[in-house]
Structure 1
Amino acid sequence: MSSQYLSKNYVEETKFGFWFLRSHTWQHHVLRVAINDLRSLFSEPLPVAPVLLDAGCGQGKSFKLLQQVFAPARLIGLDADPHSLALSREEAARQGLDVELIGSDCATLDVPDASVDLLFCHQTFHHLVEQHRALKEFYRVLKPGGYLLFAESTEAYIDTWVIRWLFRHPMHVQKSAEQYLEMLREQGFEFAAQNVSYPYLWWSRARDFGLLERWGLRQPPPVGQREETLVNCVARKPLASAPT
């Protein structure tokens, strides 16, 4: 691993993966869809003028969408890759957005306690080796009553031949949808069934990206009878939370 990264456990992405994170497909079929879905999972009104932290902001393609949907008073982007942060800075300038950028590992967030209203973690968690430490940090930096916007691909998707061929992930930490949700519960986050979704998108279909279903050669499995490849959750830190 190159010493340039700000995490001792950083798993370097492939060249294809780095390119994909600035593609039209990523921005419009992955990021945009996930942000809109997370917005729909709130049970209560959104925080007004929140402090919003994008943990694992990558190349900053989320910034404009987050600004449009959540109207943050402060938008903070955090990543452990200095090159990605440089591209995030360029993206913020191109969009005319004021974004604070922090170089930090998610397992040791360089962010004060109880300072964030919304923490957006989109397709980042499955890249993290120290997942439990990162989740504890997410909980720490959120204000009581603050929300974790969690959107992840599961092991059923990450551990397919095409994804393993095109991208690079720490395979020993991959989890199912229910295992990720149980991690959130164990950390102390609160959510109900209406705060969780299991998107079944064309790009997330294991094995064939849904081609056989689109060609009418196979019926899509019903909810409850398929191994979920995506899980989205809006989880709240309790208003009266115990110290972590």
Structure 2
Amino acid sequence: MNYLSDSYVEETRFGFWFLRSHTWQHHVLRVAINDLRGLFEGPLPERPVLLDAGCGQGKSFRHLHQTFAPKHLIGLDADPHSLALSAEEAASLNLDVELIGSDCASLKVADNSVDLLFCHQTFHHLVEQEKALAEFYRVLKPGGHLLFAESTEAYIDTWVIRWLFRHPMQVQKSAAQYLEMIRGQGFEFTGRNVSYPYLWWSRAKDFGLLERFGLCRPKPFGQREETLVNVVARKPLEVAD
């Protein structure tokens, strides 16, 4: 496969199949988009230009369209096969989606042209994370929002995830490190714009099975290492030179 990124980390066959599954669409994508929607302060932008960075097979398109009603939806990915499946998904939903083959570290998108940039479970696949985040900042309009939803190192670096999926382990980060990186790029957010979901599928090591069978109690917030972090971060209206 001729990927559109020199640093692309190819997914496993299981991983590629899982990203088409009902579990992924209903328990992961849908839940994340609903959570991100609740992290906004003030009204949503009307008829936004929305970029899905790392759209994969396009399974986000339905939920993004229903939640944010974009006037223009862009799906971007570095895997040509995934983009072909995204085109099929958009056609099946009767949605007009612009599809772009591009590396997130070098987006083929104009400066200050996007209102909402959705990056869901993509960032931990990227090797050049600093460059990608700078590109996200570049293409967003002043006042635009980054919708960032990620699994952290505490989840990615578990035996079951390392066995089933493939990730660049050298770039994995904690929730705090992701938030520090986003703020360091110049984005603005407060605690009101951040959440730390503790969902069954994100429980490190056992997917919450021990808790489900009553063999242990879940650790409360502040006493556990977070496995998920969601944030809605805003590019300032006035950008410093």
TM-score (norm 1): 0.98
Paired residues for 1:1-244 under 5 Å: 2=1, 4-243=2-241
Gap runs ≥5 in structure 1? none
Gap runs ≥5 in structure 2? none
**1:116 Cα deviation (Å)?**
0.1
CA distance in 2, matches of 1:192, 1:214: 33
The 3-state SS of whatever aligns with 1:17 is helix
CA distance in 2, matches of 1:151, 1:130: 17
Identity %: 81
CA distance in 2, matches of 1:242, 1:141: 16
The 3-state SS of whatever aligns with 1:140 is helix
TM-score (norm 2): 0.99
Give CA deviations for 1:36-64 in whole Å, capped at 9, x if unaligned. 00000001110000000000000000001
Q: Which portions of structure 1, spanning 4 or more consecutive aligned residues, are displaced by more than 2 angstroms?
A: none
The 3-state SS of whatever aligns with 2:160 is helix
Alignment-mate amino acid for residue 218 of structure 1: C
Aligned length: 241
Alignment-mate amino acid for residue 6 of structure 1: L
CA distance in 2, matches of 1:59, 1:236: 27
CA distance in 2, matches of 1:95, 1:156: 36
**1:242 Cα deviation (Å)?**
2.2
CA distance in 2, matches of 1:81, 1:207: 29
